[in-house]
Chains A and B, each alone.
Chain A
Amino acid sequence: MATKLNKRSVVIVGGGLTAALLARQLTAKGTDVLVLERGADRRDAAAAKLPSQRDELRWDIRGGLGQDWSVETYTIRHNPKDESFPTRRLAAFLPGDGLGGAASHWNGFAWRWSEYDPTLRTRLETRYGKQAIPADMPIEDWGITYAEMEPYHHLFEKLYGLSGKAGNIKGALVPGGNPFEAPRRDDYPQPPLEPTEAGLIFKAACEKLGYKPFIAPSGNSSGTYTNPDGMRLGACQYCGHCEKFLCEAQAKATPETLLYPVLFTRPSFELRQRAHVLGIDYDKQAKRATGVRYLDLLTGEEFEQPADVVVLAAFTMTNTRLLLLDGIGAPYDPASGAGVVGKNFCYQTNSAVNVFKKDWWINPFLASGGTGITIDEFNNDNFDHTGLGFLGGAGISANLTNGRPIGNRRMPPGTPRWGTKWKEASAEWYAHSFSMQAQGSSYPHHDNYLDLDPVYRDAFGLPLARMTFDWRENDMKMSEYCTKKIAEIAKATDATIVGPAAPRKSPFDTRFYQSTHVTGGTPMGADPKNSVVSQHLQHWDAQNLFVVGASVYPHNAGYNPTALLGALALRLGDDLTSYVERPRML
């Protein structure tokens, strides 16, 4: 039997980025906050110290910082009527496991999204007409505006000490920045990172074609920085061990570097590590969450933790799964289109083209996670889609993030896979090649969603989350268009070899890493008919239950999700401060 603990004011499930930010707002006002995190604080672990930090096999190839699939994985099928299979060692995306979550092992890209993203349906209908959005694409407005979020973006960027170059300050375009950027009140807290050689080659080719390349905003610190809470970032060492790694130099903005240390000093904050949440106690009659149940992974004991307010701040998949496990809200049904939980599950439609030239010295190991030169001309709705037959787009970049040799050796097409010629090609091209990428939007599709698997269970006996997902026609047309654009840029460099342009195609393949940006499942919105949580992230069927994370995104853009998460979490922190004083529908 579970031991019942004393009631707490705000209980947060998951000790990652969003939990830390909203706890920062709440505890500043003295509100009692308890965070339950299934993993541990790893700031002193082998993952965060030299020399063991620089171990590609352990942290990258074997996924040493990620979710343990033997405990909990996801199942996959491509279409609603198919049989599902467990991904026994998922490679496609990498949920975190430990304090900071996936925000600890991120690369560092920290974009504000387009000004029109929160009102995408209105934007597309206004620009292309009511019929422009296909019936099987449930794009919705989010119930918020960019202008409402701007102050929170500003605060997040200051807390995270982002490095970058503004492209649009209060509506005035700034040369060298992103001309498509949403208007900002001022420049980034720190100057941009140093570009790589690959970035400069890409930049020259883009300029030749008339595009406006810029250096992407990043959480890798270009210098030393002290944030408004007095927390410090070291200067980035361009070590090429960012994504899938912890930063030993405290030069990557992460929750455990910048946020949790402040929270640990606040008397109303408590972090409980190795506390694996099993479910939410839900009073259906009263439409209230009464608390959560969790397992102490150190002792095996089960606890019931009553709470005035429960916040789901776990990874995308977990937020959705917890709601489904305890029957909170109506599960989405693709056959009828009814229900909402699990809906609008999106991913990131990526592709790449490799370029080679012998007298380039690319030195891929001199790189940082967020060192990228990008063009935004073909992202989202930054270009006219009339007659193109698809919606959405991609940021196109040369994001050379590392030269780790197991996974990052590019070889020209036709190179044998082993033997002397393979070795010769590895030696010949390792330092003289790079890749240009498209990070593409993923707009929702009627048949892409999450629910509970009817067969497979986790180590605690609970049903796994089941993904029904594939690249649909819109994704593939978008990818084809944007991949052609990369190929044109590749040909505009003086590369002697340009690799094949391979757009993303169905079927979705779980066997290789693509992006950790899975979104949706608990979409936000102004209408309970097509959203799980309100524009204030408050559950429509449980007033004191809130959900925050990329699970609330109704669609995924061609931008990395992190900075917008940060802004939403800070805003939720302020909303909750008010809610705790006076509980109500916000």
Chain B
Amino acid sequence: MADGEGAKFARRDVLKQIATVAGTAQLAPAAVATAATAAAIGAAQAEPAIAPTSAAPTSVPAPLAGYQSLSLDEAAFVEALVNIMCPADHLTPNGVDCGLAVFMDRQLAGGFGQGERLYMHGPWKKGKPQFGYQLPLTPEQFFKVGLAAANAACRKQLGKSFDALAPAQAEAFLTQLAGGKVVDERVPLGAWFNELVYPLFEQACYADPIYGGNNGKVFWRMIGYPGLPATHQRDIVTYRGKPYPGANDPKSIADFS
């Protein structure tokens, strides 16, 4: 995949990112507590009766720099993908800045990507979709094989790598992928997108930020998920049918670590 193909949307330059870490980093809320005091803090948080808003922060901390699994070319695809699936808008920064690419990379490099908890004995054969994943590849391998096949199909169809497409073209290509319309002779690209890439995307948005995505709890803030410590014995009564103030300022695992 050539770099000089005139990307229409920002592909994050690794060096640039490293240079801006210090400038853009916004410190996480200083809610530091031990597990033992978590309940007390939870109760205290519930006190101020502030109506939740769906306002997103204008800036989030810089995502983690550097990839453990993805090559720069693979990263270009993934970054383009997450920026299409999560464009910068009034709700969140773009997917890369939300940490979505880093999340996927870390998952692929970690236990999940390496096939943890996955039954990996043959024989291998093609089954009905309802029987689930049946390839002799770890999720990381499948991710990369699918990425290469999707990119090849993209070049064949549109004459450009996926990361060089204009946003509208990229969007249309993803829609085709999701609909099983992009076909590769050997790689089941519909299942690749819908059963591997898409779940990783949703997880990247909504998992606890300790995994690298949902940077600055931006997605939790967006929907009003209050996160931890979730000691709601009184809240279930007090806020039944009413806005929950804690939804304004979600707390994550790092805030209690």
Which residues of A line the B interface, CB within 8 A?
A: 49-52, 54-57, 61-63, 68-70, 73, 76, 78, 83, 85-91, 194-197, 200, 235-241, 248-249, 360-361, 363, 365-368, 403, 405-406, 409, 417-420, 423-424, 426-428, 430-431, 455-457, 507-511
Q: Which 8 A-B pairs rank lowest in CB-CB distance, beginning with the nearest?
A: A418-B85, A239-B230, A430-B223, A50-B35, A51-B256, A405-B206, A57-B207, A238-B232
Complex Cα distance, B229 from A469, in Å, reads 41
Q: Is the CB of A420 within 8 A of B87?
A: yes
Name the one of A368, A406, A428 contacting B207, with C-beta atoms under 8 angstroms.
Answer: A406
Most chain A CB atoms below 10 A, which of B201, B208, B231, B243: B208
Complexed CA–CA distance, A235 and B241 (Å): 22
* 5 A-B pairs (CB sep. < 8 Å): A50-B38, A56-B207, A87-B132, A403-B225, A427-B222
Extra 13 A-B pairs, beta carbons < 8 Å, given A366-B239, A427-B224: A51-B38, A61-B199, A62-B111, A70-B117, A88-B119, A200-B240, A237-B232, A240-B232, A361-B242, A363-B239, A409-B223, A427-B54, A430-B223
Q: A194-B237, A426-B222, A431-B223 are in contact. Are A61 and B203 (CB under 8 A)?
A: yes
Whether B230 and A365, one on each chain, are in contact in the complex, defined by CB atoms closer than 8 angstroms, is yes
CB-nearest residue of chain B to A222: B233
Question: In the complex, what distance in Å separates the CA atom of A428 from the CA atom of B54?
Answer: 8
Is B225 within 8 A of A430, CB to CB?
Answer: yes
| B residues in contact with A68, CB < 8 Å | 117
**B residues at A contact (CB < 8 Å):** 35, 38-39, 52, 54, 84-87, 89, 91-92, 111-112, 115-121, 123, 125, 127-134, 171, 174, 178, 195, 198-199, 201-203, 205-208, 210-211, 219-220, 222-233, 235-237, 239-244, 247, 253, 255-257
Most buried by B among A197, A235, A237, A409: A237
Interface centre among B129, B199, B233 (most CB of A within 10 A): B233
Known A-B contacts A85-B134, A405-B225, A420-B89; the reply to A235 vs B171 at CB < 8 A is no
Chain A residues with CB under 8 A of B87: 419-420
Knowing A366-B239, A418-B84 are in contact, say whether A51-B229 is a contact too (CB < 8 A).
yes
B interface secondary structure, majority? loop
Known: A419-B87, A510-B131. A238 touches B233 (CB 8 A): yes
Q: How many A-B residue pairs have CB under 8 A?
A: 196
Looking at the complex, which one of A61, A85, A200 makes contact with B131 (CB distance below 8 Å)? A85
Q: Which residue of A lies closest to B208 (CB)?
A: A55
Secondary structure of the A contact surface, majority rule:
loop
Q: In this complex, what residue of B is CB-closest to A90?
A: B132
Taking CB atoms, residues of chain B closer than 8 Å to A83 are: 125
The residue of chain A having its C-beta at the shortest distance from the C-beta of B115 within the complex is A70
In the bound assembly, the distance between CA atoms of A367 and B235 in angstroms comes to 10
Task: Tell me, rounded to whole Å, the shortest Cβ–Cβ distance linking A455 to chain B.
Answer: 7
A54-B229, A420-B87 are known contacts. Are A197 and B119 too (CB-CB below 8 A)?
no
Question: Which among A50, A76, A88, A194 is the interface contact of B236 at CB below 8 angstroms?
Answer: A194
Most chain A CB neighbours (cut-off 10 Å) among B84, B116, B206, B257: B206
User: Roughly how many angstroms separate A416 CA and B26 CA in the complex, as a whole number?
Assistant: 31
- Taking a contact as CB atoms under 8 Å apart, the answer to whether B133 and A427 are in contact is no
Whether B223 pairs with A50 at a CB distance below 8 angstroms is no
In whole angstroms, what is the CA distance A366 to B128 when docked? 39
